Amino acid sequence: MAAERIYIFKLFERFWHWSQALLIITMLITGFEIHGSYDLLGFHTATETHTVAAWTLVGLWVFAIFWHFTTGEWKQYIPTMEKVDAMLKFYLTGIFTDAPHPFKQTTVRKHNPLQRLAYLFVLAFINPLIWTTGWFYLFYGSWENWGFGWLSLEYVAMFHVIAAFMMLIFFIAHIYLATAGHTVTSHIKAMITGWEEVED
């Protein structure tokens, strides 16, 4: 089947994507070391690196939110149930039987319905949980002054780790689904060059 090249991802989107990926990987590695899963950098260095990466990601997200709203790109993430069943069937069996992709990317529809729902789950559930618990973790010494002395550090830490595991699962699924394009590497190339090959 013939393919055409279209310019999908702008320069800032690609910068935001790869910077965010690097920072999330950094926080996962250092976070699980802080949790005691292994000893790689040492607790002190891991904690400092984790905190710096977290604040850097906050800054990146501030710019990303501003960019998405000023350019109108936020519309790319509006969830829809249209073709969700077709996308599920494609990801579960279609990619193994060379079935045609049920969704065609365009410059105004970059993300398929399942991607939109996944990003909504990250934005509406995982991120608030991981950031809220991380914020409380970071400012543990101020809980009494803020009226949160009743909170349990053990539970805050537990929910932070749960959110981290959810982010890790999303990250692994994201990498896997990145191989389900026109070719195994087409989505990855698109996020480097901006140009996506789509079936005509």
Q: What is the arithmetic mean of pLDDT over 39-46? A: 94
145: amino acid identity, one letter: N
Asked if 137 and 57 count as a contact pair (C-beta separation under 8 A), the reply is: no
pLDDT in tens, 66-121: 999 999 998 888 888 888 898 888 888 888 888 888 888 888 888 888 889 999 99
- What per-residue confidence (pLDDT) applies to 5? 84
The C-alpha angle 186, 190, 195, rounded to 5 degrees, equals: 110
The overall average pLDDT reported for the chain is 90
pLDDT at 1: 52
CATH code where residue 143 lies: 1.20.950.20
Give the Cβ contact number of residue 129 at 10 Å: 17
Local structure of residue 76 (DSSP, 8 states): G
Q: Which range marks the domain in which residue 31 is found?
A: 3-199
What pLDDT sits at residue 66? 95
Report the number of distinct structural domains present in the chain.
1
Instruction: Let me know the angle formed at the C-alpha of 48 by 47 and 53, rounded to the nearest 5 degrees.
Output: 100
For residue 180, pLDDT over 90 is answered with no
pLDDT at position 199 is 67
Rounded to an integer, what distance in angstroms lies between the CA atom of residue 144 and that of residue 161?
Answer: 23
Distance of CA 135 to the CA centre of its chain: 19
